[in-house]
Amino acid sequence: MRYLILSDIHGNLTALDAALKAAEGRWQKAVCLGDLVDYGPDPNEVIGRVQSLKAFTIRGNHDKAVVGLADPDEFNPIARISVLWTREQLTPPNRAYLEKLPSGPKQIGGFSIVHGSLFDEDEYIFTPELALDGLLEALTPVTFFGHTHIQGGFTLRDGQVEVLHLPPAGGNPFSTLTIEPGAPFLLNPGSIGQPRDGEPRAAFAIADLENRSVEFWRVPYNIGAVQERMARAALPEPLILRLAFGR
Ligand code: ZN
C-alpha cells in the first residue's frame, strides 16, 4: 500500500492542491499528521479537501487552539492574531470536525503517526537528542511526525542517532529513502503550507513500506496568490512574508 503523508497544511489550499496534483495516481491511502488550519487564508477549504481525501487524520496544536482546546495565550502575539482570525472563519461543521479529531499516536498500515512526539503531541523533535527516546521506544519501525515543519528525520545506526535530510536534487520532485530493516525511523514529511527548512516549496511524503521506500517530495506552488489572500484577510505581515523564504 502506498500512503500519502501530509502534515502542517496550515490553511494553505494552493499549496495543498499543488501537492495533490503532483502526487496524483501515486498513492492509495492518505494520512494527515495535524495542523490543518491556522496561519493560512483557507481554513474551511483545506478541511473540505482533507475530508474529500478520506485521510486518516490526527490533530495538531493549532487545530486544538482554534477550537479552544488549547489556550491561544500560549502562542506568540502574531500567532495569537491568526488563531483568533481562523476561529472566526470556521463554519460550525468544520469547528465540530476539528474538535473531534483524535490525538496521536495512532497506528495505520504498520507505521505510527504523531503530531509532535510519541510522548507529547505538542513536543518539537528538532535535534538528535530530542529524537532518541522516540527512536528507542518506537511502537513500530517507522513513525511519522510533524510539528517542526522540517522535512527529513532521524534513525539509529550503531547506537548513534543519524540525521536524515534528503532534499530532492537534480530537478527531481522527490528523493527516496530506503528503510533498512531492524533500524527505527522517525520521519517528517515536512509542511505543506508553511515550510520552515529554508525551502519554500510544499513538502510531503509518500510511503511504500512493503517496498521499504519513503519518498520526500517538494512541489512549487503560487506563493504570491496565497500572500494576496492573506493580505486581504489582514493576517500579520510576518506570516505573509515567511512563506516566500520557507522560514
Ligand atoms: Zn504546524
How remote is the CA of residue 191 from the centroid of ligand 1, in Å?
7
How far, in Å, from the CA of 103 to the mean position of ligand 1?
Answer: 14
Domain with 15 in it: what CATH number? 3.60.21.10
Sign of the Cα pseudo-torsion (183, 176, 168, 39, in order): negative
Secondary structure of residue 242 in the 3-state scheme: helix
Residues 113, 186: contact at Cβ < 8 Å? no
The residue segments making up the domain with residue 218 are 3-201+213-242
Domain assignment present for 66: yes
Residue 206 in domain: no
Specify the amino acid at residue 154.
Answer: F
Q: In whole angstroms, give the CA distance from residue 25 to residue 36.
A: 23
| pLDDT tens-place string over residues 181-215 | 999 999 999 999 999 999 999 999 999 999 999 99
pLDDT (tens digit per residue) in 208-217: 999 999 999 9
Indicate whether 102 belongs to any domain.
yes
| CB hemisphere CA count around 240 (13 angstroms) | 15
Ligand 1 mean position, distance from CA 143 (Å)? 17
Q: What are the tens digits of pLDDT across the range 102-151?
A: 999 999 989 999 999 999 999 999 999 999 999 999 999 999 999 999 99
The neighbouring-strand residues paired with 202 are 219
Query: What separation in Å is there between the alpha carbon of 37 and the centre of ligand 1?
Result: 9
Residue 150, domain member (yes or no): yes
Ligand 1: centre distance to CA 159 (Å):
30
Ligand 1 mean position, distance from CA 180 (Å): 28
In a domain, 207, yes or no: no
Q: How many domains does the chain have?
A: 1
Asked whether residue 247 is assigned to any structural domain, the reply reads: no
Residue 208 belongs to some domain of the structure? no
CA of 190 to the centre of ligand 1 (A): 10
